[in-house]
Chain A
Amino acid sequence: MGPSGTAKTTLLRLITWQVVAERGSVQVFGSEVATRSTAELFAMRRRMGMLFQNGALLTDLDVYENVAFPLRAHTDLPEPLVRQLVLTKLHAVGLRGAARLMPAELSGGMARRVALARAIVMDPDILIYDEPFVGLDPISMGVICRLIKDMNEALGITSIVVSHDVQELASIAHDSFLLSGGKVVASGTPEELNRSDIPEVRQFMSGLADGPVAFHYPAPDYREELLGDTGEAR
């Protein structure tokens, strides 16, 4: 968790090696990410599923083909088995009936559910969610929240959820880490974070407009800028 612009998504990109760290160490599945070859990196990614903010569905394929995409790319499974797997995953997210819709015909919440079905179709060990609740209505948010929890429990996997929706995360997370200014400022269960005295944590958990994260973007002195020598606002 953490306020906008605090490098939450960058952290996910470091874990998945979409960006390379200049310093420090990133270990996934027990070994350093940066030392892996491209083939090893792709093998690592096959054990991960990622849900993007907007779903990132392939717009020229329908829902069914989107979910089947990783299977077709990585396996030579016979078509009846692909169909069975795809429909099972779509049923799990409640969208078996939408299999032949195109991405443009889906609502934001539905697109994310399809993306979730696609993310789990290869039975990953880790599921990564990048801001899964952004821009969703309360019903869709509740659906995604329930799905994240159900998937985690049913598949017995590790889920990493990046978000700034405190309530939703508190209802599903076993552990939380609060990032601020590119650093982890607190960690623990959501209840522990709620009881924290650290100013950054208090501001974030209570949604205060001003605090360590300032309301005003850094700027010259207000009076001086308005009433400066030129008499003109710059």
Chain B
Amino acid sequence: MSAAADSLPVVAVRRIGAMTLFLLQVLARIGPALLRPGLIVRQIYNAGARSLVIIMLSGMFVGMVLGLLGFDVFQRFGSEDYVGVLAALGNLKVLGPVLTALLFAGRAGTSLTSEIGLMKSTEQLTAMQMMAVDPVRYVVVPRFLGGFIAMPLLAATFTVIALYGAQLIGVQQMGVDAGAYWSQTQNAVDLHDVWEGVVKSLVFGVAVSLVAVYEGYHADPTPEGVGLATTRTVVISSVLVLLLNYLLTAVFLTTK
């Protein structure tokens, strides 16, 4: 194969094409997979409930930092009341979905990839095929759906905890008036901002879950192959989340 065929853009386009085809395969099997909701619920627990602690802790610290920074900047202009606006818009529109997706990729995405990769390397997926059972339907789809459903719920949790963290610093510690804090926040935030966060978290949920299950399913069935696939999950989904975040932000700004 020529060097041009192995160049980064060609490899990237090929991978995007392969992932799109894989997504279509997954989507085509969602109907039959819904007949066994127990498998999906278990994956929501694995991807979602088990990521709760890291998401809540991170949300709290991010909110607290926003409270500190916001207070430091706004007090120079005598507008400390706007700390809540910064925290609310920053978290709802960007930090909540983006940081949750990045943490989700590191916590649940790697777990999905390595689990499916190890199932492949120990011939469990081949054994399923030999039992005339489709591994995409039984292994991939429940994990994809589990991640897709868990991600927005985690992003919502992150955002709520971050808002509380910002309030904790801004109002409780720095002494901003609670009434002014919340009324400014209420005036500045509208439904469009909430929708932006919801849509982003849904899109990131699809992106991270798809990358994780794709990389696991296509990992080389060796210890090294599974390790590389896990690394690729973090790298690809992180870059993808940041790229999609930029595109979605631009779209929401133009449609406001």
Is the pairing of A and B real?
yes
Residue in A16, A54, A56 whose Cβ sees the most chain B Cβ within 10 Å: A56
Contact status A43-B132, CB under 8 Å: yes
**B123 contacts across to A, CB distance below 8 A:** 52-54, 56
For residue B103, CB closer than 8 A to chain A, the reply is no
For residue A45, CB closer than 8 A to chain B, the reply is yes
**B133 contacts across to A, CB distance below 8 A:** 69-70, 73-74
For residue B157, CB closer than 8 A to chain A, the reply is no
- Residue B122 contacts which of A16, A46, A59 (CB distance < 8 angstroms)? A59
- Residue A16 contacts which of B118, B124, B128, B130 (CB distance < 8 angstroms)? B130
A22 to chain B, nearest CB (A): 19
CA distance A84 to B124 in the complex (A): 25
**A50 contacts across to B, CB distance below 8 A:** 127, 130
Contact status A52-B129, CB under 8 Å: no
For residue B131, CB closer than 8 A to chain A, the reply is yes
- Residue A18 contacts which of B124, B129, B131, B138 (CB distance < 8 angstroms)? B129
Contact status A45-B131, CB under 8 Å: yes
Chain A, 1-32, CB within 8 A of any chain B CB: 16, 18
Contact status B132-A56, CB under 8 Å: no
Q: Nearest B residue to A44 by beta-carbon distance?
A: B132
SS of A interface (majority): mixed
CA distance A18 to B132 in the complex (A): 11
Contact status A45-B129, CB under 8 Å: yes
A90 to chain B, nearest CB (A): 17
Chain B, 28-54, CB within 8 A of any chain A CB: none
Chain B, 104-161, CB within 8 A of any chain A CB: 118-119, 122-124, 126-133, 138
Residue in B123, B132, B138 whose Cβ sees the most chain A Cβ within 10 Å: B132
**B126 contacts across to A, CB distance below 8 A:** 18, 52, 56
Chain A, 30-63, CB within 8 A of any chain B CB: 42-43, 45-46, 48, 50, 52-54, 56-59
Contact status A54-B122, CB under 8 Å: yes
CA distance A50 to B138 in the complex (A): 19
- Residue B131 contacts which of A43, A54, A59, A73 (CB distance < 8 angstroms)? A73
A113 to chain B, nearest CB (A): 15
A58 to chain B, nearest CB (A): 6
User: 1/0 contact trace for A100-121 toward B, CB 8 Å?
Assistant: 0000000000000001001000
With A54-B122, A59-B119, A73-B138 in contact, is A42–B127 under 8 Å at CB?
Answer: no
CA distance A122 to B133 in the complex (A): 13
CA distance A176 to B160 in the complex (A): 69
B133 to chain A, nearest CB (A): 5
B14 to chain A, nearest CB (A): 22
Residues of B within 8 A of A (CB): 118-119, 122-124, 126-133, 138
With A45-B129, A56-B123, A70-B131 given, name 7 new contacts (CB 8 A): A16-B130, A45-B131, A50-B127, A59-B122, A73-B131, A118-B131, A122-B131
Can you offer 5 A-B residue contacts whose CB atoms are under 8 A?
A: A18-B126, A45-B130, A45-B132, A56-B127, A59-B122
The 3 closest A-B pairs by CB, nearest first: A56-B127, A42-B132, A56-B123
